[in-house]
Amino acid sequence: MKKYIHKMKILLWTRSDCFKAKGGDMVQVENTYLELKNLGFDVTISDRNNLNISEFDIIHLFQLDWTPETYLHAKKAHQLNKKIVVSPIHHNVSEVKKFDNEYVFGLRRLSKILFVDQFQRDTFKNIYRSILDINKALPTLYSIILGLKHMNQKVLEWSDYVLVQTKLEAYDLKETYGVDFKWEVIPNGVSDLYTQKNKLVNPFGFEDYIVCVGRIEPRKNNLNIIAAVKELRKETNKDIKVVFVGKKSTKHKEYTSLFDLEVAKNDWIVFKDYVSYSSMPSIYKFAKVCVSASWFETTGLTLLEALFMGTNAVSTSPRAKEILGDLCSYCVPEKVESIASALKTEYFRDRPKLNSKFKEEYTWRNTAVRTSEIYRKIY
């Protein structure tokens, strides 16, 4: 039996579809788990709703916003007097509502017409998701009865600590939910893959391209990025290519069909639906700019990874600005010309040079160390 350095038993408990509908929260959970293990902690990951948690001392929950499972997880932990830590990965509700109001496809058109309140819209979308995923059914039923906003308020009230990625995230949470809670800023980081001095091979027959990493879906704004690159190519008369890395959303067929048409029409658009995590440093390294032009986002983990590989960055997120500062150019998602302008700035800018303090702070190991300090504080 393996001996652990620390006595406490920790559960990292995430949404039921975390490892099927993969996203940034999966990267955060997995890397936190690996680094906590390396620090000698007895830690377990689970995405199961019906889980016996009696053996655990600390329950660390991931995702809040439109994830109703988190309430049931927190309620069970609270009833058993477990210590609760929450990483909400919170998105600004005003930004989400603006997206739903201005840039909707498929089911979101109906939710926009039926509901004004964003939490009701999210509940409506969860009803649809529950039809496709039975694990969402009971949590969604709770949100219909209790209200999703109320459920999220209770999660924050029951928490012993809330771990946010930026101060702005904490302020957003308090403004949205009207609940006071203990919080600490613990930003995400990059893995050892991005700090090692390995010789990397260009995965393409070209370089100095623009790269966008994330799902192909309306929220990620892929079509507006394509339109912006079109403008940039026309203005500069340069054969600038754009590479998209990420799975196509199965919930946005209309949008992904439009994306497919653009890829088919333009040989300067490259789409990779799967790239191994270990191959990503090469993808970033030979790009000139990494763009995250999402309608709403947290800090944008892909931009951190890109910067560590010497690639310039473009973001639409005010929260990213808190971390990246002038290492990045910023734009607004709804304006193609704004995205194109930011891309132009970064495309012709010198590659970034990160100082040693930045490189030391934004690693998954440092994230785990600082998270473990919170565990010790409440244990």
For residues 112 and 191, the answer to whether their CB atoms sit within 8 Å is no
- Measured in whole angstroms, how far is the alpha carbon of residue 188 from the centre of its chain? 10
Token reading at 369: 């160390």
Average pLDDT value for residue range 261-270: 98
Whether the per-residue pLDDT at 277 is higher than 50: the answer is yes
**Distance of alpha carbon 322 from alpha carbon 336, whole angstroms:** 24
Token reading at 86: 């929450």
Using left for φ > 0, alpha for ψ between -120 and 50, and beta otherwise, residue 313 falls in beta
192-360 belongs to which homologous superfamily? Glycogen Phosphorylase B; (3.40.50.2000)
Which sign, positive or negative, has the C-alpha torsion 309, 310, 314, 319? positive
Same fold, 9-96+146-189+364-378 and 192-360: yes
Residue 83: per-residue pLDDT: 98
Residue 1: per-residue pLDDT: 43
Q: What angle do CA 29, 30, 32 make, to 5 degrees?
A: 65
The pLDDT-based confidence of 285 (bands split at 50, 70, 90) is: very high
The pLDDT-based confidence of 2 (bands split at 50, 70, 90) is: low
Average pLDDT value for residue range 171-198: 94
- The sheet carrying 58-62 orders its strands as 42-46, 9-13, 58-62, 83-87, 161-164, 183-185
DSSP code at position 363: B
Average pLDDT value for residue range 189-208: 93
Q: What percent of the chain has pLDDT over 90?
A: 77
pLDDT digits (tens, 9 = 90+) for 149-173: 999 999 999 999 999 999 999 999 9
pLDDT digits (tens, 9 = 90+) for 49-98: 999 999 999 999 999 988 999 999 999 999 999 999 999 999 988 898 88
Average pLDDT value for residue range 110-137: 83
For the chain, the domains span 9-96+146-189+364-378, 192-360
* H or E stretch covering 194: none
For residues 23 and 141, the answer to whether their CB atoms sit within 8 Å is no
Least confident of 106-110, 186-190, 338-342: 106-110
pLDDT digits (tens, 9 = 90+) for 287-296: 999 999 999 9
**Distance of alpha carbon 352 from alpha carbon 205, whole angstroms:** 23
Average pLDDT value for residue range 207-219: 96
Residue 107: per-residue pLDDT: 65
Q: What is the mean pLDDT of the chain?
A: 93
Residue 110: per-residue pLDDT: 73
Whether the per-residue pLDDT at 244 is higher than 70: the answer is yes
* H or E stretch covering 314: strand 312-315
**Distance of alpha carbon 105 from alpha carbon 255, whole angstroms:** 7
Whether the per-residue pLDDT at 3 is higher than 70: the answer is no
* Nearest Cα residue to 59 out of 9, 101, 107, 108: 9
**Distance of alpha carbon 157 from alpha carbon 173, whole angstroms:** 12
CATH class for the region spanning 9-96+146-189+364-378: alpha beta
